[in-house]
Structure 1
Amino acid sequence: MTLNVLYLAHDLADAAIRRRVLTLKAGGAGVTVAGFKRGANVLADEHDVTTTVLGRTADARFAQRIGAVVGARMTLRRRLAAIRRPDVIIARNLETLALAGQAASLFGGDIPVVYECLDIHRLLLDEGVKGRLMRQAQRYFGSRASLLITSSPAFVENFFKPRSGLDMPVLLLENKVLALKPELVSTFPAPRPPKADRPWRIGWFGAIRCRKSLDILTEFAARMDGKVEIVLRGRPAHSEFDDFHATVNTAPHVEFHGAYRNPEDLAAIYQDVHFTWAIDFFEEGLNSSWLLPNRLYEGGLHGAVPIALSGTETGRFVGNRDIGVTIDSAMPETLAALFDGMTEARYDDLASRLAGVERNQWVTGPAECRALVARLAALRPSVSSPADVPAVSTVQS
């Protein structure tokens, strides 16, 4: 029997929402999505996925987002009236977790709720009144959940275990590349150093929200005077920059090529660069130190050598596998020294080490999709213990 999933999405413009929906569908589930809009709906072309808009939210406007959630709670019965009764509800981030219990009660209170949290918002870590209120809200709404899905072991060790107050099983799902046709990613791309007199290219792809990274990379590119180029692709968080486009357009040796489709465009965009910028300072010392970003897996799969910061979870991931470059400080002068010493031989060695990693480190294939849906199906009250359900993913650090 098909598992029917209601996916509550915090941002219908987030490419990761589409990836999770496609993962569930590939695992055999039927998926209905209800969520908030901040931009173009990434599910607009998925004609077999019904999408309901619960309201509009905006980046970096937390009070506005609370208002949108309150508004959605008041109209939830009407908005979900035409939706088939789900077997499981997945709530992405705290704002939709606040709706999940009410949604479950509308369909029948025995529907299991799954809390999916792939970033720890800085307010959840605040030591003041706001932080305490946020954690209390998470505990209150999370008390209804049967399973927590998160993407990095450092999130569990640094927040969920010691500080969240949540008590539920944890499923670690890394931000791997969805590869529904494994034959398309079975061959690792060969090392591709630049031709004579051509620059090294560093790709920073995905959610572009780190102002400090942009400042570092633009200054570094100017300092290298054409020996290194910075290539940006994805969705900028304009609230984090004074004027993103003006900064990029006036920066020498920096390119921005806009949005791309994930996973369809990944091979082309990563094989256009030599290195992946896998450093983030958006919530420095907190979430940024604990995450394992999408670009780490995307670049790893497609042969772009990661550049990571020592002392972070990404740095440990790279260092433990000896598959990239880790630096102690991400300063323009540090990067300049690194690339002044970058030779074709060194790059070939780095790329070859990356090529030695098993493909399943980077990809979620059909078997993993089915295992995820089986794990979710086991949450239903009519289903016995999930002890015999295969694990979806094992995260190493």
Structure 2
Amino acid sequence: MTEVLYLAHDLSDAAVRRRVLMLKTGGARVTVAGFQRAGNVLADDPDVPIVVLGRTADAKMGQRVAAVLKASLALKQKLAHVRKPDVIIARNLEMLALAGRASRLFGGEIPVAYECLDIHRLLLDEGAKGYMLRLAEGHFGRNASLLLTSSPAFIENYFKQRSRLDLPTLLVENKVLDIKGDLATAWRRPPAPAVGQPWRIGWFGALRCRKSLQILTDLAARLEGRVEIVLRGRPAYSEFDDFDEQVRQAPQVEFHGPYRNPEDLGGIYGDIHFAWAIDFFEEGLNSQWLLPNRLYESSLYGAVPIALASTETGRFLQRRSVGLTLEAATSDQLVNLFNGMDRERYNDLVGTIAASDRKSWITGPEECRALVRHLADLPRHADTKVLSLSSPLHSGGTS
């Protein structure tokens, strides 16, 4: 059985739990060592040993750097009772900074995979801060064996052009994890609302975009009961003036808190008609390039995704002729869109999703096994640009 040590930047991140579940489904045994912020999404999994390395906070880079330095000094003690891994996965740059030391503690021959699912805005900074962070990324990743990322636009726009890394890459999209292998045939056409009932737009996942919240609350207020906004997930409170108060005062806006992924996805997407797949959190940068979880989740469960045409998400939808793409995400454009929305148009939109290949939205057990096999076969040092993988996953070099 392949032993994986997963170094997690945030034990409260649902994406950490999803990756651990994917590795377990693929046949790996996983130990997680990471930083605590707002809880532990793996606390109820007795099969996954957890090592807490310290506490960090959102939007406080200096504090996180200090926490990583402190954890580095204590790493030998923290990992003393951890099984020797066959591979180490480092989620984000701060964990990559610990991965080399962790590998040396286990004898120095443990390959490291760097998992980067978002490009932090400071890595794209054109000044001294960005230069130093990219220098650090190149330094800490110099002996890594693999880069795991979730969007081809990250590779084209950052890793090929700006990053100092030169690693084989594996594209693992943020598809819905299908642990049992039965989601490809599960389909329920979401009904249009009854006459007089509102269209429901869901914004689910990492709620961190102040501009999106303003646009959606404005839309609900202007359409006076014809549209409802449903929010679910974990808000990044540091990005809002007062998230809870803004939602409380907004008409036709509901916040239902966190949910479990993938267990709750069918229920929460079955409760809406449209899914907000637009993000301005790092406008023109990371937000331009990402392919978010909600893109795959909404398409799998028949909620019509709404995206910006100019983004990688919008281009993804346009290539598959599904969803709605907007030239601009303004309240005026959305008001016009929903003033013209009727049952016939909605049913056409849902019909195109129903006709799509269900496997486009799903990571099934075979893909999980392929990922684990690929990780188990990594060399200590990467010496090739292109790696082959006999699975739907994609591989290639960063240069």
TM-score range, shorter chain: over 0.9
> 2:345 maps to what in 1?
346
Instruction: Check if 1:379 corresponds to 2:378.
Output: yes
Residues 268-321 of structure 1 deviation map (CA, whole Å, 9 limit, x = unaligned): 000100001000000000000000000001101100000000110001011111
CA distance in 2, matches of 1:271, 1:161: 39
- Mapping of residues 294-313 of structure 1, within 5 Å: 294-313=293-312
- Mapping of residues 70-219 of structure 1, within 5 Å: 70-219=69-218
> 1:40 maps to what in 2?
39
CA distance in 1, matches of 2:252, 2:328: 22
> In the alignment, residue 28 of structure 2 is paired with which amino acid?
A
> 1:390 maps to what in 2?
390
CA distance in 1, matches of 2:98, 2:75: 8
- Mapping of residues 267-282 of structure 1, within 5 Å: 267-282=266-281
| Structure-2-length-normalised TM-score | 0.96
CA distance in 2, matches of 1:294, 1:303: 14
CA distance in 2, matches of 1:185, 1:71: 46
> How far off is 1:46 after superposition?
0.7
Segment of structure 1 superposing worse, 178-187 or 134-143 = 178-187
> In the alignment, residue 61 of structure 1 is paired with which amino acid?
K
Residues 42-79 of structure 1 deviation map (CA, whole Å, 9 limit, x = unaligned): 00011010000001111101100001101100100000
CA distance in 2, matches of 1:347, 1:62: 44
Contact 1:374–1:389, Cα closer than 8 Å, also in 2:
no
Question: 1:264 and 1:185, CA in 2 relative to 1: closer, same or farther beyond 3 A?
Answer: farther
Contact 2:56–2:63, Cα closer than 8 Å, also in 1:
yes
Question: 1:337 and 1:66, CA in 2 relative to 1: closer, same or farther beyond 3 A?
Answer: same
> 2:263 maps to what in 1?
264
> In the alignment, residue 182 of structure 1 is paired with which amino acid?
G
- Which secondary structure state, in structure 1, belongs to the residue aligned with residue 145 of structure 2? strand
Instruction: Check if 1:367 corresponds to 2:366.
Output: yes
CA distance in 2, matches of 1:158, 1:388: 23
Residues 193-213 of structure 1 deviation map (CA, whole Å, 9 limit, x = unaligned): 001100000000000000000
Gaps of 5+ in 1: none
> In the alignment, residue 391 of structure 2 is paired with which amino acid?
A
> How far off is 1:180 after superposition?
1.2
CA distance in 1, matches of 2:45, 2:390: 28
Residues 15-43 of structure 1 deviation map (CA, whole Å, 9 limit, x = unaligned): 00000001001101110000001111000
> How far off is 1:388 after superposition?
6.3
CA distance in 2, matches of 1:144, 1:388: 20
Counting aligned pairs with the same residue, the percent is 63
CA RMSD of aligned residues (A): 1.5
CA distance in 2, matches of 1:381, 1:225: 60
Gaps of 5+ in 2: none
CA distance in 2, matches of 1:388, 1:284: 34
CA distance in 1, matches of 2:340, 2:258: 32
CA distance in 2, matches of 1:355, 1:126: 41
- Which secondary structure state, in structure 1, belongs to the residue aligned with residue 46 of structure 2? coil
CA distance in 2, matches of 1:191, 1:271: 6
> How far off is 1:152 after superposition?
0.2
CA distance in 2, matches of 1:53, 1:305: 39
CA distance in 2, matches of 1:91, 1:263: 22
Residues 150-206 of structure 1 deviation map (CA, whole Å, 9 limit, x = unaligned): 000000000001110211100000000111122245132214100110000000000
Contact 1:88–1:380, Cα closer than 8 Å, also in 2:
no
> In the alignment, residue 178 of structure 2 is paired with which amino acid?
A
CA distance in 2, matches of 1:186, 1:232: 28
> In the alignment, residue 201 of structure 2 is paired with which amino acid?
I
Contact 2:145–2:380, Cα closer than 8 Å, also in 1:
no
CA distance in 2, matches of 1:381, 1:98: 17
Residues 186-241 of structure 1 deviation map (CA, whole Å, 9 limit, x = unaligned): 13221410011000000000000000000111011100100000000000000000
CA distance in 1, matches of 2:332, 2:149: 35
> In the alignment, residue 318 of structure 2 is paired with which amino acid?
G
> In the alignment, residue 145 of structure 2 is paired with which amino acid?
S
CA distance in 1, matches of 2:358, 2:28: 25
Question: 1:169 and 1:201, CA in 2 relative to 1: closer, same or farther beyond 3 A?
Answer: same
> In the alignment, residue 393 of structure 1 is paired with which amino acid?
L
Contact 2:11–2:40, Cα closer than 8 Å, also in 1:
yes
- Which secondary structure state, in structure 2, belongs to the residue aligned with residue 226 of structure 1? coil
> In the alignment, residue 200 of structure 2 is paired with which amino acid?
R
> In the alignment, residue 87 of structure 1 is paired with which amino acid?
D
| Structure-1-length-normalised TM-score | 0.97
CA distance in 2, matches of 1:108, 1:142: 18
CA distance in 1, matches of 2:20, 2:114: 15
> How far off is 1:358 after superposition?
1.1
Residues 61-98 of structure 1 deviation map (CA, whole Å, 9 limit, x = unaligned): 11000011011001000000000110100000000000
> In the alignment, residue 291 of structure 1 is paired with which amino acid?
L
Question: 1:62 and 1:111, CA in 2 relative to 1: closer, same or farther beyond 3 A?
Answer: same
Contact 2:58–2:236, Cα closer than 8 Å, also in 1:
yes
